[in-house]
Amino acid sequence: MNYQNLLSSINVTFETLNKSEKKVASAILADPEAATGSSIANLAKKAGVSEPSVNRFCKRFGTAGFPDFKLKLAQCLVSGVKFVNSNVQLNDNVSKYTPKIFDNAIHDLVAIKNQIDLSLVEKVVDQLLSARRIFFFGLGTSGAVARDAENKFFRFDLPVSFHVDVLTMRMLSAAAKPGDLFFMISHTGRTKAIIDAADDAQANGARVVGLTTPGSMLAKKSNFALEVSVSENTEEYMAMTSRIVHLVILDVLATGFILRKGPDFLNHMEKINRSLKPTRYKNN
Amino acid sequence: MNYQNLLSSINVTFETLNKSEKKVASAILADPEAATGSSIANLAKKAGVSEPSVNRFCKRFGTAGFPDFKLKLAQCLVSGVKFVNSNVQLNDNVSKYTPKIFDNAIHDLVAIKNQIDLSLVEKVVDQLLSARRIFFFGLGTSGAVARDAENKFFRFDLPVSFHVDVLTMRMLSAAAKPGDLFFMISHTGRTKAIIDAADDAQANGARVVGLTTPGSMLAKKSNFALEVSVSENTEEYMAMTSRIVHLVILDVLATGFILRKGPDFLNHMEKINRSLKPTRYKNN
DNA sequence: ATACTTTATGTAATTTTATTACAGAATTAC
DNA sequence: GTAATTCTGTAATAAAATTACATAAAGTAT
């Protein structure tokens, strides 16, 4: 139980709590901001329970005690998830839905930042460094992510391409060779074309990195699965925060790549940046 | 002095602090996370000062006392601004650069969330709703953003396209008509092809929305300028957080669009979502 | 239904933590 | 060099949180 979702946790587990814990939960949910500022005695009084009950409540939610609980509660308030339901409602106006959309993105970034497996990141960077060729595959929303990835990695002086065409994907994965790296991006991790390509590529000795939901089919089929769990209700409207997190993870990988290449590599990067100058008007 | 910048405040005012306050500041800056978890006695010991000195330090920074200080410090850590300089350093390892990249994105999202002009958002949604056609233009990194935007807006049952080809951009803007909406995405706001297209489109009576840096050439030339100021050192390496913020803003606009269309429109969205089913393997 | 077990909750003591009041030291101004 | 001011620590006090324990409530088995 991590502190990102402390408030959500309280809400979700509410029914499983016992009488006095429910009182405490209600008091906190009624005004979380206030709770972060009050003493245990105060909150106990407000909830109508004893101080140890509040303390026990805090420990039940995986915190060291009341002060620690307040701290984590305060943090979870900043990251935006004020209430369990920060989903957009049909009758929201601009001042309601705008912060909600931002909050969702912020919340998921904070969550993933704390969950991400650093040693896995390192391993994927290794793979990127040692790959003979890199292919980014994605469809739909993830197609835009794949394109963005290519836009980043082509600067790194190695053969990179992105593909959004399922026929091309089939052909490339059929022709995969050891040393090739197939970087598959799929939020659902169930997109047939992507899974099939992952199978083929791997059968031909290439390595597969999957950027996807935890435990998805793609995650299972990948040599390296970057598993990203976002809070969005995937099916409704359209995916939003998953691709944001995916992009940031690609930034992390790109950064890791550059740093491992060392300072000399920056000259190369600089050369590429300089090339853009003539495409821009000068400042005012 | 607000809590978003507590750490920055400490850093900025460091030189104006007196001897023992400096010691406390150093101890906190050395490991802010740790500071949020320790007692006043602990921190005092670590800083080599007395407990009241720590307490006075806290009050000097506008907090009620040590516990309140810890709370605000913890909050400011979440929102990402760990250090004044949370830029990646050449000798950073994976556990250093990974959170930094995330923090930068989070920090900028929080900042823009609080700065964004809601009435402007509403106006742009109006434009999207009344447009006869919508074109998303972007190059390089913003090309990926434009692609993502198209991927979202094509669901809305109106003629939308994205373009990353400067010749096509010229032709389309030359052929622009009243009722057309040109949505220009450019972080620098100085990309010639984009500026020229904005000029042409506007000359032909089309409306131009610019998603760009405050005060940029594109901002000035747009009918509606969504101005986004991000903290990244644009020129180094490659743009990262600007495109993240741009994507979230497009999510906001798309959401605004859907909500204005009303509940019936959800059936249309649902139809589109359903169409994807056959492209996916079923869950396990 | 009653006795037994388990779980839940509060009281009171203890411990930890933070704050205040004050005094002595250091610094500055004259 | 003395007085005023500012800084900083010690020790006392106050506040807050936690623990240990006892009682009460709920659940279970006979």
Distance CA A43, CA A51 (A): 8
Q: Name the residue with the least CA to C1' distance from nucleotide D6.
A: B18
pLDDT at residue B9, as a whole number: 78
Distance of CA A263 to CAs A56, A121, B59, B232, Å?
Answer: 52, 20, 43, 20
What domains does chain B contain, in order, with CATH numbers? Answer: 3-78 (1.10.10.10), 114-277 (3.40.50.10490)
pLDDT at residue A276, as a whole number: 82
Q: Is the pLDDT of residue B234 over 70?
A: no
Give the residue ranges of chain A where pLDDT is below 50.
Answer: 1-4, 81-85, 234-235
Quick: pLDDT tens for A34-60: 888 888 888 888 888 888 888 988 888
Sheet containing strand B207-212, edge to edge, reads: B160-163, B133-138, B180-186, B207-212, B224-227
Whether residue B252 and residue A74 make contact (CB cut-off 8 A), yes or no, is no
Distance CA B29, CA B13 (A): 13
CB B154 within 8 A of CB B271: no
Q: Which of A47, A49, A19, A18 is nearest to A31 (CA)?
A: A47
CB A210 within 8 A of CB A225: yes
Exposed (0-12), middle (13-18) or buried (19+): which is B240, by Cβ within 10 Å? buried
pLDDT at residue A92, as a whole number: 83
Which of A223-227, B18-22, B80-84 holds the top average pLDDT?
A: A223-227
Q: Which residue has the higher pLDDT, A191 or B86?
A: A191
What does DSSP assign to residue A90?
Answer: T
pLDDT at residue A232, as a whole number: 59
Q: Does A276 touch chain B (CB under 8 A)?
A: yes
Compute the mean pLDDT over every residue in chain B, rounded to the nearest whole number: 86
Q: Is the pLDDT of residue B12 over 60?
A: yes
Quick: pLDDT tens for B140-150: 999 999 999 99
Residues of B in contact with A125 (CB under 8 A): 94
Q: What is the mean pLDDT of residues B30-42?
A: 86
pLDDT at residue A269, as a whole number: 78
Q: Which residue has the higher pLDDT, A20 or B250?
A: B250
Q: What percent of chain B has pLDDT over 70?
A: 92
pLDDT at residue B284, as a whole number: 61
Residue A226: which H helix or E strand, with range?
strand A224-227
**Strand D lies under 7 A from the Cβ of residue A78:** no
Whether residue A192 and residue B281 make contact (CB cut-off 8 A), yes or no, is yes
Whether residue A98 and residue B113 make contact (CB cut-off 8 A), yes or no, is yes
Q: Is the pLDDT of residue B100 over 60?
A: yes
**Strand D lies under 7 A from the Cβ of residue A39:** yes
**Strand D lies under 7 A from the Cβ of residue A71:** no
Give the type of residue at B274: R
**Strand C lies under 7 A from the Cβ of residue A11:** no
> Strand D: which bases are under 7 Å from protein Cβ?
6-11, 15-20
pLDDT at residue B157, as a whole number: 85
Distance CA A232, CA A229 (A): 9
Under 8 Å CB-to-CB from A128, ≥6 apart: which residues?
Answer: A134, A153, A181, A253, A256, A257
**Strand C lies under 7 A from the Cβ of residue A20:** yes
Which of A38-42, B40-44, B81-85 has the weakest average pLDDT?
A: B81-85
Q: Is B187 helix (H, G, I), strand (E, B) or coil?
A: coil
Q: Name the residue with the least CA to C1' distance from nucleotide C20.
A: B52
Whether residue B252 and residue A98 make contact (CB cut-off 8 A), yes or no, is yes
Q: What is the mean pLDDT of residues B263-280?
A: 81
Q: What is the mean pLDDT of residues B97-106?
A: 86
Q: Can you give the length of chain B in residues?
A: 284
